[in-house]
Amino acid sequence: MTRLPYVSVIVLAATVATQTLSPNYQLNEDSESRIIDPEIPTSLENTKYFVANRKAAMYNFQIAATGLCPLNYFLNGLSVFVFLKMSKKQKQAIIYVTIGLCFSDALATATYADYVIWAYFGKSPMQNTDWGCKFFNWLGASAGNCSNVFCLMIAIERFFSVFFPFNVSLWFTRRRTLVAMVAIMAVFSSLESFRFWSFQQTLVDGVPICERIVGMSTLSRVLSLGFSRIMGFLVPWVVISILNLCVIIRLNHLKSKRQNLGLTTGADQSHKNNQSLTLMFLSMSLFSLLTNGFDLYNIIHQLIVGTHETPDFNQLIIGYVLVLAGHALNFVFYALAGSNFRHILIGMCTKNRQSHRNRHTNLKSTKANDLGPVFNSTSTLTVTHGPNLVLKIQIYTVKDCYYKLWYMEFRLYKTNYIELIRFHEGILRG
């Protein structure tokens, strides 16, 4: 009995200790069961950063594309109308290549235009349908490649027109030019067909998005780099730059040679036209290299770091905007360097051409009977030796204070082929 108090104290102490330590033990178990993986917050932060960065970047692209896409279609469509009017007077086959270039520049931005539609209306053929996802990716890539190679065809024609002026009309015929254009479109359409099985329309958090198939992402980017960026862009524009530099060197050599021989100023004017046209295409080549170079860097960088890494959307958007601007602003080079292009464009915009034609017709009808017999006539013959042999003829017939003028300009070739370059007829009051 004497030991009972000690036993009671021991039991009480054990009970208190048990009640005291038991909650702590349960808390420890709960704390161990609630330990958060340190990688989860990092992943969540990366996801939040990815979503926020992508949303901000795509919004900036939406604003830029909203202005550039309509501008692209308007300027290229206007260029087509101007070149069609030029083709009625100038019979050079290269006019067809410039028309094809305008169409390909417009179609190359189909994916950007589809994104603008999707951003504003929530639905678009490319983002909401599987066939649109495949087709528009194929169409944009094929048209972009054709655009670059059409520019190469123009540069080759300029090269041969300067170095081999008497054979260029025989080599660059309309039929051969059209066949070459069809062959180029067929080749790049076939090469870019891999996009039909490497893209698909998927749902991301319930939102339909057109994207690459995960299993073929790396292969698709490698093929895109090889076909679209190297064969379709880098090789053509490097060759274009080299050809244009050779043409400029040749034109400067011909200019110095004509100055030493003391030939007529008509040759200098022809030289200036050739030089301005060549400088236009050289500027286009450098501008295109600048606008597409950033996009090329983004693709190479993404292949090096891996497609699983989060891309820098700001760099991607800058590349997309530059590519879109490159296709839209070729019109500026046409207008700056092409004198005939500017004259026809101004006539279309101001309608002065039609009003001048009406006044000219009325003047002919009212003054035709007043000319009577010819009292005096003067003719001027000018032969210009240059890259092309040019024959200029001016004939004046004068009666009283009116004179009638015929101005004809021909280009002569070794093959006895004569091409009428320019013809003008007018009746003016002296």
Question: Which residue in 224, 108, 97 sits closest to 173, CA to CA?
Answer: 97
Mean residue pLDDT across the chain: 71
Q: CB atoms < 10 A from the CB of 117, how many?
A: 15
**Structural domains in the chain plus CATH codes:** 49-350 (1.20.1070.10), 367-429 (3.10.450)
Is pLDDT of 167 > 70?
Answer: yes
Q: What are phi and psi of 199, to 5 degrees?
A: -120, 150
CA distances from 169 to 88, 166, 313, 352 (A): 17, 7, 49, 33
Q: CB atoms < 10 A from the CB of 275, how many?
A: 18
Higher pLDDT, 395 or 240: 240
Is pLDDT of 283 > 50?
Answer: yes
> So what's the pLDDT on residue 248?
82
pLDDT digits (tens, 9 = 90+) for 339-397: 777 788 888 777 654 555 555 555 444 444 433 333 344 444 454 545 555 555 555 44
HEC profile of 41-92: HHHHHHHHHHHHHHHHHHHHHHHHHHHHHHHHHHHHHHHHHHHHHHHHHCCC
pLDDT digits (tens, 9 = 90+) for 35-76: 444 444 454 554 555 555 566 667 788 888 899 999 999 999
User: For residue 306, is it left (φ>0), alpha (ψ between -120 and 50) or beta?
Assistant: left
DSSP 221-272: HHHHIIIIIIIIIIHHHHHHHHHHHHHHHHHHHHHHHHHHHT--HHHHHHHH
378 alpha carbon, distance to own chain's centre: 50
Nearest-angstrom CA–CA distance, 108 and 136: 9
